[in-house]
Amino acid sequence: MEIQKSISIKQYNSFGINAHANLFAKFSSIKELEEQVELNRQTPILILGGGSNLLFTKDFGGLVLKNEITGIKEIKEDEHHIYVQVGAGENWHQFVLHCIRKGWAGVENLSLIPGQVGASPMQNIGAYGVELKNVFYSLEAWHIPEKKMVNFTLNDCEFGYRESVFKKKFKDQFVITDVTFRLNRIPQFNISYGAIAQELEKMGVKDLSLQAVSRAVINIRSSKLPDPAVIGNAGSFFKNPEVGYAAFEMLKEKHPGIVGYSLPHGHVKLAAGWLIEHCGPAAGTSWKGYRKGDAGCHEQQALVLVNYGNAKGSEIYDLSEAILKSVAQKFGVTLEREVNII
Let me know whether 168 and 300 are in one domain.
no
Catalytic residues: 162, 236, 338
Question: What is the per-residue DSSP string for 77-102?
Answer: E-SSEEEEEEETTSBHHHHHHHHHHH
User: What CATH code is carried by the domain that includes residue 334?
Assistant: 3.90.78.10
- For residue 214, the tally of other CB atoms under 10 A from its CB is 21
| The one-letter amino acid at 256 | P
Q: What is the pLDDT of residue 225?
A: 83
Please give the C-alpha separations between residue 120 and each of 36, 180, 264, 285, in angstroms, as whole numbers: 24, 11, 24, 36
For the beta sheet containing 260-263, the strands, ordered from the edge strand earlier in sequence to the opposite edge, are 242-244, 267-270, 260-263
Q: Give the per-residue pLDDT at 228.
A: 85
User: What is the percent of the chain where pLDDT is above 90?
Assistant: 66
Q: Are residues 33 and 117 in the same domain?
A: no
Report the number of distinct structural domains present in the chain. Answer: 3
Query: Last residue of a domain, which of 207, 224, 241?
Result: 224
Q: Of the residues 67, 97, 115, which one is the last residue of a structural domain? A: 67
Tell me the backbone φ, ψ of residue 191, rounded to 5 degrees. Answer: -125, 15
Residue 211 shares a structural domain with residue 84? yes
Can you give the residue range of the structural domain that contains 42? 4-67
Interatomic CA distance for residues 277 and 140, integer angstroms: 40
Q: Indicate if 63 and 77 belong to the same structural domain.
A: no
Type and span of the H or E element at 200? helix 196-203
Does 47 share its domain with 107?
A: no
**Domain shared by 205 and 267, yes or no:** no
CATH value at residue 217: 3.30.465.10
pLDDT tens digits for 82-128? 999 999 999 999 999 999 999 999 999 999 998 899 999 998 999 88
**Domain stops at, among 44, 67, 90:** 67
Shared domain for 49 and 127, answered yes or no, is: no
Looking at the structure, do residues 207 and 237 belong to the same domain, yes or no?
no
Nearest Cα to 111, choosing from 18, 214, 11?
Answer: 214
DSSP 337: B
Contact 225, 237 (CB under 8 A): no
**Same-domain pairing of 333 and 205:** no
59 and 197 within one domain: no
CATH number of the domain encompassing residue 37: 3.30.43.10
Positions in the chain short of pLDDT 50: none
Note the pLDDT of residue 194. Answer: 67
pLDDT reported for residue 16: 93
Q: Report the chain's terminal Cα–Cα distance, integer Å.
A: 25
Alpha-carbon torsion angle 85, 88, 91, 95, nearest 10 = 10
Residue 220 sits in the same domain as residue 300: no
C-beta of residue 23 within 8 angstroms of C-beta of residue 3: yes
